[in-house]
């Protein structure tokens, strides 16, 4: 019975370990949807106060009939994680960073199936515009053209989705460049942590933009093992165009990591600059990789030691009792 209990305990430990999770915590492809495609999906402009610039957008009708493209200009807010825009649909709410006051003439238009419209939109920045970052999205929604012969009839499809192109405008002047590295964490898929029983596959670096311009962090991340050997490194935000952190917001930059093979403690060293040629900021974090087999083996060793001590103690008590008799 005692042997059975020991085996049962070991099996229970393995079952418990199997349920442990490892938390101890805009691409440039043309957008498509609603029968339209749009490119580019993001445009960066630098426009002086009192000046005008051209914004170029290409919209294509990818439906089988004629449509009317209705334009909208929306403010958006960052999601605080990926940097993905969250549209502000309430037109009565205007962001302090809105581009609506810069863009006035955006008209709807009709075009046939497969037709592409190359649009030039005027961006005019008022003379009294404060220096800093402004952003928004220009959207187009496709509505079937009821006047077109090939769209008549009761089988007409209602298209309500839309496609959009992000517009980031920077007005030069006294722009305050200030940012901080909030957190550095290892991730297994979508969960961050400090102890992992499976190899972590990502590193996430949370950047907080405290300035009034766009922060475009760049730099290097190095991962070292317990012996101080560098096992992996990569460039952060190494894309074209670079990802941005909007003013008064945070964004987590996640990148894949490799070569986390040996069990033990790993160190993450982050070296980041927010301005080209500017000051480099550093931050360090650590995590442990303890595979399930090692954790289970350690627990079994501890159990065996406890049992051994128990048996030795029992034998000692038995011998002492016999001597007294």
Please give the pLDDT value at position 323: 63
Q: 5, exposed or middle or buried, with CB in 10 Å at 0-12, 13-18, 19+?
A: exposed
Please give the pLDDT value at position 12: 37
Sign of the torsion formed by the C-alpha atoms of 190, 195, 200 and 206: positive
Q: 75, exposed or middle or buried, with CB in 10 Å at 0-12, 13-18, 19+?
A: buried
Please give the pLDDT value at position 6: 36
Please give the pLDDT value at position 91: 72
Angle at 183 between CA 179 and CA 186, to 5 degrees: 140
Sign of the torsion formed by the C-alpha atoms of 165, 171, 172 and 175: negative
Please give the pLDDT value at position 143: 86
Please give the pLDDT value at position 32: 47
- The residues near 291 (Cβ < 8 Å, ≥ 6 apart) are 197, 198, 263
Please give the pLDDT value at position 235: 96
Torsion of CA 2, 7, 11, 16, to 10 degrees: 40
Delineate the domains of the chain, giving CATH numbers in brackets: 31-171 (2.60.40.10), 176-290 (2.60.40.2550)
Q: pLDDT below 50 — which residues of the chain?
A: 1-33, 152-159
Please give the pLDDT value at position 316: 65
Please give the pLDDT value at position 280: 86
Please give the pLDDT value at position 93: 80
Please give the pLDDT value at position 28: 31
């Amino acid at each position: 019975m005692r042997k059975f209990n020991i085996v049962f305990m070991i099996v229970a430990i393995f079952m418990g370990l199997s349920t442990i999770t490892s938390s101890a915590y805009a691409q440039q492809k043309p957008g498509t949807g609603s029968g339209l495609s749009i490119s580019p999906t993001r445009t960066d402009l630098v426009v002086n106060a009192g000046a005008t610039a051209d914004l170029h957008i290409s919209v294509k009708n990818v439906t089988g009939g004629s449509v009317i493209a209705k334009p909208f200009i929306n403010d958006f807010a960052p999601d605080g994680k990926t940097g993905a825009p969250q549209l502000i649909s309430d037109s009565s709410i205007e962001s302090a960073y809105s581009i609506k006051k810069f863009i006035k003439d955006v008209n709807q238009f009709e075009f046939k199936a497969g037709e592409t419209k190359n649009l030039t939109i005027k961006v005019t920045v008022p003379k009294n515009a404060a220096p800093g970052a402004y952003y928004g999205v220009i959207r187009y929604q496709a509505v079937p053209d009821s006047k077109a012969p090939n769209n008549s009839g009761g089988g007409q499809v209602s298209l309500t989705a839309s496609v959009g192109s992000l517009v980031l405008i920077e007005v030069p002047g006294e722009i305050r460049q200030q940012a901080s590295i909030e957190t550095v964490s290892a991730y297994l898929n979508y969960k961050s942590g400090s102890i992992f029983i499976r190899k972590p596959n990502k590193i996430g670096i949370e950047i907080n933009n405290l300035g009034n311009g766009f922060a475009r962090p760049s730099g290097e991340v190095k991962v070292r093992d317990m012996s101080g050997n560098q096992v992996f490194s990569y460039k952060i935000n190494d894309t074209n165009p670079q990802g941005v952190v909007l003013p008064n917001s945070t964004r987590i930059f996640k990148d894949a990591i490799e070569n986390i093979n040996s069990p033990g403690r790993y160190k993450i060293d982050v070296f980041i600059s927010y301005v080209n040629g500017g000051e480099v900021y550093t931050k360090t974090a650590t995590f442990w990789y303890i595979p399930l087999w090692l954790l289970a083996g350690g627990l079994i060793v501890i159990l065996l030691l406890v049992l051994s001590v128990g048996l030795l103690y029992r034998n000692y008590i038995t011998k002492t009792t016999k001597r007294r008799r």
